[in-house]
Amino acid sequence: MSSNINIVLVKTSHPGNIGSSARAMKTMGLKKLTLVSPKNFPSEVADANAVGCKDILDQARVVDSLGKSLLDSSLVIGFSARSRKSNVPSLTMDELFVTLKNYENDEVSIVFGNEQSGLSNEEVQLCNHIVCIPTDNAYTSLNLASAVQIFSYEYFKNFNKRDEPIRNQETQLASHSTKSHIIQMFLAIMSYLNIITNKNKKSLTQNVHIIFNKSKFSKNEADLLLGVLSSIEKALKK
């Protein structure tokens, strides 16, 4: 249980939140932590707040972009406190754990944004789904480590009562990097056919990302689609 869950903290500004998040994870059996461009790490403050969970920090992966942290993930879930104009599909907490049961044999990244600004629109676009933790309207600001704790607890609660996986273990889903490759090839073909113009580039690019990111491809299906797109691209260039 839990070895497929990758907790991703993006541009965390206070090292104490990194340490507290590590503690929140380990108490619920989560061990894989990725830090995207943290402001201050390694840090004695992070170590102190981890309180006996420093091994999570010692094993944490540090990368310089969110995209790099998602290369091996088949599903990317972004946590956001703000309502979005983007059409990235949203899930309730209950719906999230129903979805996760279909990805027990694949890496899943759970992404939390910066304490002050959360996830940027560009970072949200890399997610398959967005989840908002409900709070009282009088005060909606939830501490980063608290948000990680809530997810970790709900994950522990939902997955400790299960005995067998739902999905066939032989089905391997396409990685996030493979989906990104498909998206870029599709956009290139649209540009070559003049479907994408300077006027509509931003909106069409976003819509293409949304369409493919919310689709669940097996590795074999993704390879087939890549082969078809590659053949189309070659034919257009002749």
Name the CATH superfamily housing domain 5-159: SPOUT methyltransferase, trefoil knot domain (3.40.1280.10)
Read out DSSP for 117-183?
TBS-HHHHHT-SEEE-----TT-----HHHHHHHHHHHHHHHHTT--S-SS-TT-PBPPHHHHHHHH
pLDDT of residue 214: 85
pLDDT of residue 106: 94
Angle CA 97–26–141, to nearest 5:
65
- Note the Cα 50 to chain centre separation in Å: 23
pLDDT of residue 40: 95
Q: Is the pLDDT of residue 38 over 80?
A: yes
pLDDT of residue 139: 85
**Which of the two residues, 167 and 17, has the higher pLDDT score?**
17
**Which of the two residues, 47 and 169, has the higher pLDDT score?**
47
pLDDT grade for 156, boundaries at 50, 70 and 90: very high
Euclidean distance between CA atoms 131 and 36, whole angstroms: 20
In this predicted model, what pLDDT tens digit does every residue of 72-105 receive, in sequence order? 999 999 998 765 556 789 999 999 999 999 999 9
pLDDT of residue 169: 53
pLDDT of residue 162: 52
Identify the weakest region by mean pLDDT among 63-72, 81-90, 149-158: 81-90
pLDDT of residue 132: 92
pLDDT grade for 184, boundaries at 50, 70 and 90: very high
For the chain, what is the mean pLDDT? Answer: 90
pLDDT grade for 168, boundaries at 50, 70 and 90: low
Domain assignments of the chain as residue spans, ordered by start: 5-159, 176-237
Q: How many residues are given for the chain?
A: 238
